[in-house]
A and B are shown apart, each in its own frame.
Chain A
Amino acid sequence: MATGFIILFGLTMLYLAATSRIIAHIRILIVQGVLLFLICCCGAEHSNLLNFAFLAIETIVVKSIVIPWFLYKVLKQTHSNRDVAANIPHFYCLVISSIVLLAGFLVSNYFVSSVKMIAPIYFGVSAATIIISLWLITIKHKIISNVIEFITMENGIFLLSLSVAKEMPMLVNMGVLLDVFIAVYILGLFVNEINKEFKDLEVSHLSDLKDYEYND
């Protein structure tokens, strides 16, 4: 059962790579949060109740409600619904992401299966998610897209930490902290301040600081 959810989780990354409307990206974040919750539920029989409750709150409340809601608020304030000017056309994005995902499956099946602690499927999908997210960060032009991809990367890491959760619940809780951290900085820095100073949230506006021809 968990395997199915993990594969679905991998497929959401393909959807993210192939679409340009930011509202769709935010919806994908909600879907990923719910999928992570379901994956937690599948492994629930191994962990104690307190820990499971903590994980459930984290995945449902923080990942699927709080963070998407903040992003939605930012989106409404800035009226920037499309990240049109991506450097690479969506078709190629889709192709490259698919190749990365496939490579994730293959590589993990070859190399990871020897280690008992970590299931190849977890490792493959989370590694592919991290790589696709990092790559998407480099080609997108809107700050809000960068934040969304950062969160999907964090979801990938969370998935990886779930695979070792039975041995070490502390690791997962640390991953949760990373999430709270993102929520804080979206709130504090991003929502309130960048909006005031910059009219639209283009990354290219944030390139004044450099070493040549510098004005202060």
Chain B
Amino acid sequence: MINTILIFPIIACILVLLIKNKTFNTWMVNLYAVVHIVASSLLVFGKNTELSIPYFALDHTNAIFLLVLSFVYLMVAIYNTGYVKNIDVPARRISHYSFMIMIFVLSMTGTLLSTDLGVSWVLIEATTLSSAYLIYFNKTKHAIEAAWKYVFICSIGIAMAFVGIILLNVSSGDVNSLNFAQLYQHAASFDLPFLKLAFIFMLFGFGAKMGLAPVHFWLPDAHSEAPSPISALLSATLLNSAFLVIVRVFKIMEVAGCTNYARIILMLMGFLSLFVATVFVYHIKNYKRMLAYSSIENMGILAIGIALGGVAYYAVVLHLIGHSLAKASFFLTSGNVLELFNSKRVKSVSGLVTADGKTGWMWVASFLAICAFPTSLLFLSEFLMIKTMLTEKHYVLCAIFALLLTIILFGIGRVVIKMAFGELSEDKAKLIETNKNRVSYWMYISQFVMLILVFVLGIYIPNCLNEVIKMTAGAF
């Protein structure tokens, strides 16, 4: 099954490059999404399947990450079917676009499944290369700027992570392997000063990819300039893959007995991310950038959850699922808004509900999902996290956490409500009449499904899924 996930896209990519037909290329992306979700469901839930091949395996940690990736990719592919119809470019570029999407998803899948730190590192590098093309697909001046910043910051990050890996190798002494299982096995005998140094480098390196605060600068630019399906993929899946690598590295620290040290640094970066998101969201002028800052906030919450440990691990897994679904739906809906109003400025959008009821209400519902309105899955996770802070007597941290989240909620809520309700001026109404046929039914289905899922999972988690979540939380 792992073979299928990893080899199918390579064949599909070759076909896409050979047959430059818009419809064929789009359906190839969809076909890969279907193959991906079928294969990963069989891997996670199925019995008697081969779970490992050399360098790649499905273990207890990455199962839920793989499921989330498959599902979000399927939803994005459905949306993409409608989105591609509106892009007015030669078939050659659509073929490159589809090619890069598949390579991007392939490298993320590889990162999730890899059992070797070196392989993860190489594949993370591959995600940068493939997504840089996608970010700059529109070829505007701003898109180039965003892609340049993305590539430059992330490649410095990747280089730093590589220094971290070299230092890890120095600290590991005679263990000449980067296989995670072997690293865990021998971690107790590592040279601690070098291990601590290595952790800092790797945290900053992979943290740059994940969007943690002091190294997050590429994230708002890239997310706002990329085409909307790509923004959704970046936010809901790419950040998770980098997060998985950080989780695995954190586990090495845990086994080596430097848990407190690692926790303090993760906690600092997490709160810094929350703080940065708070400051910038408050006066936001561009709604796609607002969503990007919200991603930084949620990555911060994940880092804090890992730093807390214990019950918070379970909350982290829930938060990861909830954030991926809600944020992907939010970004895809923002794509609809962009198609309708032709502008990313908050100022030029109002009366969304009158303009297009479905988009308007999905915009509000996505907001409710992301701000942890009860029965959203995020409500459950953030509630559990606050509970963990209280039971472990981190009262000050808990107060800061709640305060920052409330300010972010206010900042996002103000923008969302201003855009959704309010007056729709006459010239805007005319513009929307002409643009309305650009938003086809493909561009509603996926958000609808994801939102329903987020709100239902908040009340009822099916037993089989709960088993996987518990298993993942236990393996952290």
Contact = CB atoms under 8 A, between A and B. Distances in A.
Contacts of A214: 285-286, 289, 345
A130 B289 contact: no
Closest 8 CB pairs of A and B: A209-B221, A206-B145, A214-B285, A216-B344, A167-B176, A168-B176, A214-B286, A118-B170
A181 B132 contact: no
Contacts of B147: 189
Interface residues of A, number: 44
B145 A115 contact: no
B191 interface: yes
A170 interface: yes
A209 B221 CA distance: 6
A153 interface: yes
A208 B149 CA distance: 12
A178 B155 CA distance: 9
Q: Is the interface of A mostly helix, strand, loop or mixed?
A: helix
A185 B129 contact: yes
A216 B121 contact: no
A177 B285 CA distance: 40
Contact of A178 (B139, B158, B280, B345): B158
A157 B159 contact: yes
Interface string A160-202: 1100100110110011011001101100111001100110000
Given A117-B170, A206-B145, A212-B285, 14 more contacts: A115-B191, A137-B156, A143-B148, A146-B152, A150-B156, A164-B170, A167-B169, A170-B178, A171-B165, A189-B148, A189-B151, A206-B149, A214-B345, A216-B344
B375 to A, nearest CB: 32
Interface of A: 111, 115, 117-118, 130, 134, 137, 143, 146, 150, 153-154, 157, 160-161, 164, 167-168, 170-171, 174-175, 177-178, 181-182, 184-185, 188-190, 193-194, 197-198, 206-209, 211-214, 216
Contacts of A115: 170, 191, 194
Contact of A171 (B133, B141, B158, B169): B169
B163 interface: yes
B142 A208 contact: yes
Given A174-B118, A211-B220, A157 B284 contact: no
A189 B151 CA distance: 9
Nearest to B347: A214
B224 interface: yes
A214 B283 CA distance: 11
A209 to B, nearest CB: 5
B250 interface: no
A180 to B, nearest CB: 10
B38 to A, nearest CB: 32
Interface residues on B, range: 35 or more
Contact of A150 (B155, B194, B284): B155
Contacts of A194: 144, 148
B350 to A, nearest CB: 17
Given A164-B169, A185-B155, A211 B285 contact: yes
Identify which of A117, A143, A153 gathers the most chain B CB atoms within 10 Å of its CB: A117
A160 B285 CA distance: 44
12 contacts: A117-B170, A146-B152, A157-B159, A161-B162, A181-B129, A181-B155, A181-B158, A189-B136, A193-B144, A206-B149, A208-B145, A213-B285
A118 B194 CA distance: 11
A158 to B, nearest CB: 10
A184 B58 CA distance: 31
Interface in B216-235: 220-221, 224-225
A185 B128 CA distance: 10
B122 A177 contact: yes
A91 B316 CA distance: 51
Nearest to B338: A216
A194 B148 CA distance: 9
A118 B168 CA distance: 12
A216 B345 contact: yes
B125 interface: yes
Contacts of B169: 164, 167-168, 171
Contacts of A150: 152, 155-156, 159
